[in-house]
Amino acid sequence: MAPSTSKRLKSLKLSRHFLIGNTAVQLPHPSFPNPPEGHSKGWKVYVRPLPNGPDISTWLKKVQFKLHHTYADASRTIEAPGPFEISETGYGEFGVEIRLYFPPESGEKAQYREHYLVLGTYGSEEQQERQKRENFIVAERVETIEFNEPTADFFKNLTSEEQYAWLKTKKGRGKGKKPEMVFQGDVPPSAQLPEKAVGGPVGDAIMGMAAGKGGVWSAQYERQLVSQLEASEKQLARMIDEEKSAVEARKARMAELGKKIDAKA
């Protein structure tokens, strides 16, 4: 039998946002010393967390980037904790094939994404002027990944506090004072906690876990649980009412029988 921790949590859906994109510079550039002959651009392609978002290596085990076949060793793999990025030089744009792999406890199959490298300036005249002036191009987008009915283990990781640890830096506050944990840029992390359950009851397993050690509540999750508890309460009240009427009916029937027996006696 499969271990209970790999059980999938029904009616639950979690999603995560992250970034896929590339940066590019015109060569020569100090970040890309001694490029091969004919290479006019330096670039990076990456899969990254949102600024101040949770650590993506919570759910991302490795990323395979497949480059254009003109590159030697076109298939490049980066394992967690990353950074999940490839730095290269070249002369032309092409579609990078990106495969996202998830941890074994997730039971999730790899997912495919594509990012077409942008190496030239783009956008409005103003934008293009700025890109030229700064010799820096960023072409990225927010991606979403959805985990339907995650396993109990995976759910635990996706709701743990640890995924925010990378945002915290130690900041000393003068002599003798304890270093304090502060968030990067003093901006609290954007919480990406469980999405609401898509109908149906939430099992004891989830409730036990969320209320237990290290579980993180989201307002949405809490609302969901509260409304479920309210629904259960209503149902119980209904059942009690029904039971009461049944008792009344039985009493009446017994009284009726009692009368008949008295009459016969």
Among 19, 29, 61, 91, binds ligand SLL (CB under 6 A): 91
Size of the site for ligand SLL (CB under 6 A): 8
- Using the rule CB under 6 A, is 42 a contact of ligand SLL? no
Q: Are 60 and 102 in contact (CB under 8 A)?
A: yes
Task: Report the distance separating Cα 89 and Cα 134, nearest Å.
Answer: 18
Distance CA 174, CA 178 (A): 8
Among residues 92 and 123, whose Cβ is nearest to ligand SLL? Answer: 92
187-206 residues in contact with ligand SLL (CB under 6 A) are none
Q: Is 75 in the site for ligand SLL (CB under 6 A)?
A: no
Say how many residues make up the chain: 265
- CB of 95 within 8 A of CB of 116? yes
**Residue 92 lies near ligand SLL (rule: CB under 6 A):** yes
Question: Which residues are CB-neighbours of 161 under 8 A, at least 6 positions away?
Answer: 214, 216
Minimum distance from residue 70 beta carbon to ligand SLL (Å) = 4
- The C-alpha atoms of residue 179 and residue 170 are separated, in whole angstroms, by 6
Question: To the nearest whole angstrom, how small is the minimum distance from the Cβ of residue 125 to ligand SLL?
Answer: 24
Q: What are phi and psi of 52, to 5 degrees?
A: 65, 15
Among 42, 49, 90, 194, binds ligand SLL (CB under 6 A): 90
The binder of ligand SLL chosen from 5, 15, 31, 70 (CB under 6 A): 70
The residues in 93-132 that bind ligand SLL, with binding defined as CB under 6 A, are 93-94
Closest-by-Cβ residue to ligand SLL is 90
Beta bridge partners of 42: 25, 89
Return residues touching ligand SLL (CB under 6 A).
68, 70-71, 90-94
